[in-house]
């Protein structure tokens, strides 16, 4: 059976949003998809579980998808970074236990991406910062304390530099080193501005490069490797289509909000638009009705999300301006976010690493 | 007298466009501004001369502004990069002669920007690649061949790292080293997508950080340093406001083009939209009339350039999404573009460096 | 009056050793030189005060020279590195107070050396890690807490890359930024193997590049800049002459030790050479008498330190093998030692930075 | 049968020298070892062929060992570097043909070493600069011109960072990617000062980490991988033992030369020691007889090479001073020498890459 919808996104949350948008009438029919949301301080945690049926609907592999979202991640303040690392570690630990992987099972961490293109170097940089000890278990087992499991790690590089498909590199090293489970770390492309450098996604479904293209042998998953494959990623790049499309949405919501606030303002004494120092947030319910959208943005305003993106793509692509971009602070961002993931991996994988001693293992 | 218009752009070409747009009735009145355009292969060369009167109109210092524009610059192919370096060198050489600077005058090159933020590192990287020989003139004059002038170079760093204002660093080193003229190299912010990593700008007006703020003592120019100050820059970053605003324009032109092509198609046998392999270009004349713009983009479509930018700014800023971004290939871009400028400087400053021996001096 | 002896060393301790060696009969005559030694855990602290008379004897400028020596520094363990930073901070703080510099006096830190030659990059890397806040005092004084003084910092680069003499860069920036005192940080050449990456030297005498050559205008000191100039350095490179000369000495001491241990062994029950797990140290008193030295090392064994070095130099130089080398772990060494100095500077310069909050300022 | 002598050197030339030294009476018995020397401009080319019998004598695997030696390599001048790349390419090409490897056979290049320790990064840096095209053969065969073979490349990292033995990484990737032959590139330790950064060694015997330790499964060779394995290396580090031992030899030869020149000078009018601008070279025949050696260097002077090294090792090791060092210009050295090898690989592996177009493939 064919997928009903092919997503262009790495994020399950977005895939679901896209599905609902295309099929608004089915919003309550998403039987195969369970979504739970939690808010802890400044971080929104979302767990999406997709079963076989849900998988067919939204075109994502069955399994669990977890996102930790926070605009604060962009500020790169060390206290907050430590805090979100620990939250990531808890979710990772839970995911590992869910798969009944024992505490001494051997893990192979794979740092995907091109080390020489900074926004794509999240995987390799994470690998360099993660605590690696598999060789100690083998060569100096007496030096290993309680509460640690054997961790190996490698960076397969990218095909343009190695001449070898990334999946083949992973297959080869996995067969030789025989880990009990695998974690792949990668920089992702975001499908919305507000997720760039602001979201950590984890899943237990492996990675499916060029998914939808029908090329299963490049899949890096339990199906091809016979051991559980987890993935961890952060969106670090975004294209001009997404920036424009999102901004048009924000403009429509901005108008919608203004209209509804004017309505209320005429009925009350509270001045419109008072925000009391908190950063403003535009929400889905701010989106005005179609007539208003048409008034402000013409036919564009009336288009659905995917139609709008497709139209922008058709305009920008032929003139060569659908740039894939990254925030200019990319050097510091990748340095700090790779530390966040490495820290989260260390705490999530070893019982004896915790927030107190975490920095000794970075 | 107050400037009629305060530009937000480093590029004189853009300042003029903005002026014309705001004052379309004055397009032919720009007496104080002379613009000459040339096309050489894939490169568009524009020379803008602004006198005192023009300066008041467009809010840019009087002087000459030169741009070399080419989308091919983004492809980073070595033959083309060498070619545009030589074109840059010719313009630089002409500009130096225009100021009657003799062939043996001493030059100080200043590489502005933050070396540790890659998209901002164009200046420091250029400095590292430029041929520097002032010490040879002093210590080993016998080793200096004919056709070279003394070049010194330094990177003042950024205030956040030095605690000292960049202009003070330049003043101090200039007073001590007493150059006859100065060239500052810097990464710029672009005000249109199509100029990012695709335009080299030169001028003989120095640099005016925070210009318009009325802070003259930070100006790095002949007025403050008593020697001619040239500037060379490439826009390497762009903000989300610009990306969105430009894309909306492209969309409007796209619709305009489609409409006019349909009209023509109905009158002729030539199929509409045939491009025969060349990259499509959307032009100013493709912009449809206001009614059409309103039909496709509502009230947004009817806004002028500056109103539209201001609106987008007002929407994106409060929600924290007016990201300043750079194309993801930033590492290679800065490496290659700093070589382009260093090569252009070497050829433009020394009579004995030419396209044939240029690579020996990089 | 001419110096009695021209040292080839940056270290005052070594200059004194060289003097005593050449003039053993004057060992007790060093009236102008006061040496105090302290041992704290694994660190040996030496303070050498040289007055005008002493200066003439050993060829070092009058002032105080402080060394912190420890072989443990080479192990790069974070606890020890933090500890030695704090010891350095105390000595720096004492030195500053000795010069009656007030707590709010403005400091300029100068990071000497070539950023692109790793073993020479100690100065620039230190500058990047030091807490800099002079601009905050100027632009946001309200944001500055109690217990901080204004710190500015810059890297003048090296003449081969700037075309400008380093001292001129420092003069220019000093005149413009008007600090109350200056600290220069630099990588040094060691004159003995056991000081490489294992000694921090401080002084209040500024720096005298090419000292002895009679070129005073390149001196960076209170004499040329009118404000106190402190220097901080770590020897990171050593030449083949030094390695060979030191090793020959170690061999002689090794033989001397063996002979005396055999003597004692024949008189006692204690087995010779028992070291009980501590790293062995060879000392000056292990050096055997001249006859023994000649027996083991021929005429070489009988040479004085300087004669021996000169001979080795005469052999290695003409065949091109007097390499200047650095331990192969140079990348990590410079990264960690620059952090040690930055940390020591932060704690030594600001009353409000202490071992507990130090890492927040790195 | 046990090896007669276990070498501590990666260089076959040195292994042979060590054997002859220990067994001077057998110098002419080296039936199983054929040595051919050639001089071309400033480069000395040595080909050593070792058969089974010779292998037993000198403890190196049977096969061919090629060295290209030149002190000029250290000067890093681009013309000479290009020239020695081409010489390396010819030898590599000859070696490949000797093994009857066809022109379209697939090659896997393995860059050994730690990318983050500069003197050890020769392998990874070479890999990054080598022309890689195996993926083009697979995905875009129409884009591949005549005269190219498929090249893949990867860097296995080091066990301390991956937790996986390097040999296992190579086995895994080799099994998966199935190359027809393999080339490993690595930075070596030199056993004499004059080979540091001045010698390129190639062989067709693979690599044998910890050879002599009897651990065959870590061997990367045709025996373990079933395809020919070539190795290319440059010595970039040297220890203090070697520096001292070599310098003592140079001193002895220096004295020997002086004595013989005085003898001749007394018989002739030619002044002793005239060198006419050429760099002096000390040769084996300059070494004086044992009595003279004892006179100048005591018992040390009478020791054989290995005894002397062992003694120095025994002195330096316990006091922690047998530093492994690299010339201080290590950053530029590794950058340029990795380019030399990449250039040599490109020309040696592809019929269509030659000195004229070589730079287009770097």
Rounded Cα distance, B224 and B228, in Å: 10
The burial of B290, by beta-carbon neighbours within 10 Å (0-12 exposed, 13-18 middle, 19 or more buried), is given as exposed
Tell me the pLDDT tens digit for each residue of D222-237: 999 999 999 999 999 9
Taking residues B249-259, report their average pLDDT: 89
pLDDT at A214: 43
Range in A53-67, B220-234, D122-136 the model is least confident about: A53-67
Q: Say yes or no for a CB contact (<8 Å) between C326 and D325.
A: yes
Q: Which residues of B touch C133 (CB under 8 A)?
A: 163
Name D45's bridge partners: D38, D68
Query: Is the pLDDT confidence value at D136 over 90?
Result: yes
Q: What pLDDT, in 10s, does the model give residues C87-100?
A: 999 999 999 999 99
Predicted confidence (pLDDT) per residue in C59-85, tens digit: 788 999 999 999 999 999 999 999 999
pLDDT of residue A58: 77
Q: Which residues on chain B are in Cβ contact (under 8 Å) with C169?
A: 154, 173, 176
User: Which chain C residues are Cβ-neighbours of D303 within 8 angstroms?
Assistant: none
Token pair belonging to B163: 């605690």
Query: Rounded to an integer, what distance in angstroms lies between the CA atom of residue C182 and that of residue C204?
Result: 10
Residue C72 is predicted with a pLDDT of 96
Cα distances from A118 to residues B106, D117, D124, D125, in angstroms, run 38, 20, 18, 17
pLDDT average, residue stretch D132-141: 95
pLDDT of residue B259: 86
Task: Identify the pLDDT of residue C279.
Answer: 63
| Cα Rg of chain B (Å, integer) | 22
Q: For residue D165, which residues of chain A lie inside 8 Å, CB to CB?
A: 135
pLDDT band at D213 (very low <50, low <70, confident <90, very high): very low
Contacts of D246 in chain C (CB under 8 A): 321
Q: What's the pLDDT band for B53 if we cut at 50, 70, 90?
A: confident
Across the interface, whether the CB atoms of A324 and B319 are under 8 A apart is answered: no
Confidence of residue B55 (pLDDT cuts 50, 70, 90): confident
What is the reported pLDDT for A217?
Answer: 58
H or E element, residue C186: strand C181-189
Rounded CA separation B80/B200 (Å): 14
CA distance C294 to chain D (A): 6
Would you say C56 and C1 are in contact if contact means Cβ atoms under 8 Å apart?
yes
Is the pLDDT at B248 greater than 80? The verdict is yes
Rounded (10°) CA dihedral A298, A303, A308, A310: -120
The winner for highest mean pLDDT among C2-11, C216-225, D299-308, D328-337 is D328-337
Inter-chain touch B319–A275, beta carbons under 8 Å:
no
Is the predicted pLDDT of residue D18 greater than 90, yes or no?
Answer: no
pLDDT for residue D12: 66
Taking the C-alpha atoms of residue D98 and residue D49, their distance in angstroms, rounded to an integer, is 12
D277 touches A: beta carbon within 8 Å: no
Q: Tell me what pLDDT residue A164 has.
A: 96
Which superfamily does A12-241+326-361 belong to?
HybD-like (3.40.50.1450)
Query: What's the whole-number average pLDDT of chain C?
Result: 88
Q: Give the chain D residue whose CA is nearest to the CA of C281.
A: D319
Of residues A299, A316, A326, nearest to B295 (C-beta): A299
CA A261/CA B73 separation, integer angstroms: 48
Report the alpha-carbon distance of residue A338 to residue A331 in Å, rounded: 11
- Residues making up chain D, counted from first to last: 362
Window 163-202 of C: residues touching B by CB (8 A cutoff) are 163-165, 168-169, 171-177
Mean pLDDT of B116-125: 97
pLDDT tens per residue across span C114-126:
999 999 999 999 9
What average pLDDT does the structure give for chain A?
88
Overall average pLDDT of the D312-330 stretch: 93
Report the DSSP beta bridge partners of residue B48: B35, B65
Q: What is the pLDDT of residue C213?
A: 39
pLDDT digits (tens, 9 = 90+) for A317-354: 999 889 999 999 999 999 999 999 999 999 999 999 99
Instruction: Quote the pLDDT of residue B26.
Output: 64
> Is it the case that residue A5 has pLDDT exceeding 80?
no
Helix axes A12-22, A305-316, angle to 10 degrees: 110
What confidence tens digit (pLDDT) does each residue in D191-210 have? 899 999 999 999 999 987 65
| Window 120-159 of D, Cβ < 8 Å to A | 127-128, 132-136, 150-157, 159
DSSP state of C207: B
Q: Residue D332 pLDDT > 60, yes or no?
A: yes
Tell if the CB–CB gap between B155 and C152 is shorter than 8 Å. no
Closest C-alpha to A219, from A207, A228, A230, A234: A207
pLDDT tens figures, A144-161:
999 999 999 999 999 999
Report CA B243 to chain centroid distance, whole Å: 17
**Which class for C259: exposed (0-12), middle (13-18), buried (19 or more C-beta within 10 A)?**
middle
CA A281 distance to own-chain centroid: 21
Element (H, E) at A48: strand A43-50
pLDDT, greater one: C306 or C104: C104
* pLDDT tens column, C229-241: 999 999 999 999 9
Chain A nearest C-alpha distance from D162 (Å): 5
pLDDT reading at B14 higher than 80: no
Percentage of chain B with pLDDT > 70? 85
Of the candidate ranges A278-282, B232-236, C50-54, D212-216, the one whose mean pLDDT is the lowest: D212-216
| Predicted local confidence at residue B27, as pLDDT | 62
User: Which of C194, C300, C321 minimises the CB distance to D321?
Assistant: C194
The predicted-structure confidence for C152-188, as pLDDT tens digits, reads as follows 999 999 999 999 999 999 999 999 999 999 999 999 9
* CA Rg value for chain C: 22
DSSP code of residue B352: T
Please tell me the predicted confidence (pLDDT) of residue C267: 64
Task: State the nearest Cα–Cα gap between C324 and chain D, in angstroms.
Answer: 6
Q: Which residue has the tokens 């302290």?
A: C38
Q: Test D176 with A172 for CB contact under 8 angstroms.
A: yes
Q: Pick A280's closest partner by Cβ from B254, B319, B332.
A: B319
Q: Give residue C278's pLDDT.
A: 55
Contact criterion met (CB < 8 Å) for C154 and B151: no
CB A66 within 8 A of CB A201: yes
D-chain residue closest to C118, CA distance: D331
Going from the C-alpha of D297 to that of each of A114, C252, C302, D240, the distances in angstroms are 56, 12, 10, 19
Distance in Å from the first CA to the final CA of chain A = 46
The percentage of residues in chain B with a pLDDT greater than 90, rounded to a whole number, is: 66
A contact chains, 3+ CB pairs < 8 A: B, D
Structural domain boundaries in chain A: 12-241+326-361
Neighbours of chain B (3+ CB pairs under 8 A): A, C
Residue spans of beta strands (DSSP E) within chain B: 33-40, 43-50, 63-69, 107-111, 151-154, 181-189, 199-203, 229-239, 324-327
Residue B111 reports pLDDT greater than 60 = yes
Of C299, C319, C328, Cβ closest to residue D280: C319
- Cα–Cα distance for residue pair C65/C47, rounded to 1 Å: 6
Percent of the residues in chain D that have a pLDDT greater than 90, as a whole number: 66
Separation between Cα atoms, residue A303 and residue A319, nearest integer Å: 22
Helix-helix angle C240-267:C305-316, to 10 degrees = 130
Chain D: give the shortest CA distance to residue C169, in Å: 24
Separation of first and last alpha carbons in chain C: 46
Per-residue pLDDT averaged across D3-23, rounded?
59
**Mutation site, B122, B125, B310, B319, interface A, largest A CB count within 10 A:** B319
E strand or H helix at A35: strand A33-40
Q: How far is CA D253 from CA B296, D10, D282, D285, in A?
A: 90, 25, 6, 8
Give contacts of B168 with chain C, Cβ < 8 Å.
176-177
pLDDT value at A40 more than 80:
yes
Average pLDDT (B99-108) is 97
Longest dimension (CA), chain D: 76
CA distances from A67 to A10, A138, D107, D257 (A): 11, 35, 42, 76
> What is the structure's pLDDT at C3?
37
Residue A345 parent element (H or E):
helix A330-349
- The residue of chain A nearest to residue D159, with distances taken between CA atoms, is A135
Range in B102-106, C207-211, D358-362 with the lowest mean pLDDT: C207-211
> Cβ of B321 and A246 within 8 Å?
yes
D42-97 pLDDT per residue, tens: 999 999 999 988 888 777 889 999 999 999 999 999 999 999 999 999 999 999 99
Residue D275: pLDDT band by 50, 70, 90 thresholds?
very low
């Amino acid at each position: 059976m064919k997928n009903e919808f092919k997503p262009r996104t790495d994020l399950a949350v977005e895939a679901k949003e896209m599905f609902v948008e295309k099929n608004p009438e089915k919003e309550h029919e998403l039987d195969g998809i369970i979504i739970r949301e939690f808010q802890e301080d400044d971080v929104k945690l979302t767990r999406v579980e997709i079963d076989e049926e849900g998988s067919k609907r939204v075109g994502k592999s069955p399994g669990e998808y977890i996102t930790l979202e926070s605009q604060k991640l962009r500020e790169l303040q060390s206290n907050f970074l430590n805090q979100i690392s620990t939250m990531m570690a808890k979710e990772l630990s839970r995911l590992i236990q869910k798969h009944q992987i024992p505490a001494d099972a051997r893990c192979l961490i794979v740092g995907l991406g091109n080390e020489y293109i900074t926004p794509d170097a999240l995987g390799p940089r994470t690998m360099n910062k993660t605590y690696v000890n598999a060789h100690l278990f083998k060569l100096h087992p007496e030096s290993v304390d309680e509460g640690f499991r054997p961790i190996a790690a490698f960076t397969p590089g990218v095909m343009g530099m190695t001449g070898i498909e990334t999946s083949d590199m992973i297959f080869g090293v996995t067969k030789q080193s025989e880990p009990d489970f695998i974690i792949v770390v990668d920089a992702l492309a975001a499908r919305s501005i507000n997720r760039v450098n602001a979201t950590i996604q984890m899943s237990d479904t492996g990675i499916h490069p060029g998914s939808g293209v029908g090329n299963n042998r490049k899949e890096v998953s339990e199906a091809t490797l016979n051991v559980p494959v987890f993935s961890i990623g952060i969106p670090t790049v975004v294209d001009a289509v997404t920036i424009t499309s999102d901004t048009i949405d924000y403009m429509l919501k901005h108008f919608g909000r203004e209209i509804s606030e004017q309505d209320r303002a005429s009925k009350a004494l509270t001045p419109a638009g008072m925000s009391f120092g908190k950063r403003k947030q535009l929400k889905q319910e701010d989106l005005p009705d179609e007539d208003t959208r048409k008034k402000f943005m013409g036919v564009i305003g009336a288009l659905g999300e995917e139609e709008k993106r497709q139209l922008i793509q058709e305009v920008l692509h032929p003139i060569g301006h659908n740039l894939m971009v990254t925030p200019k602070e990319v050097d510091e961002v990748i340095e700090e976010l790779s530390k966040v993931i490495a820290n989260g991996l260390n705490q999530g994988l070893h019982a004896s690493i915790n927030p107190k001693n975490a920095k000794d293992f970075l």
